Amino acid sequence: MSRLKSFALAVWDFVVGDDWRTAAGVVLALALTAAIAGTTVAAWWVMPVAVLLLLALSLRRAAR
């Protein structure tokens, strides 16, 4: 069990890294894009705005 836990933690650390908020933000932004794409409104703009905000917030947290 501890090996499985270590493996899961290693995968988490490899993919998500040290800022889980950015990963969670990406998932939320993709979900929002999918939700808007289901309507008649254009949804392509969601990810660029989200990426810019997530990167800036992540950098600001690191700098402070």
Which residues of this protein are in contact with other proteins, per CB under 8 A?
14-17, 19, 22-23, 26-27, 30-31, 33-34, 36-38, 42-44, 46-48, 51-52, 54-56, 58-60, 62-64
Q: Which CB sits closer to other proteins, 1 or 15?
A: 15
Interatomic CA distance for residues 49 and 54, integer angstroms:
9
What lies within 8 Å, CB to CB, of 25 at 6+ separation is 50, 53, 54, 57
Q: How far is the CB of 17 from other proteins (least distance, A)?
A: 4
Nearer Cβ to other proteins, position 1 or 38? 38
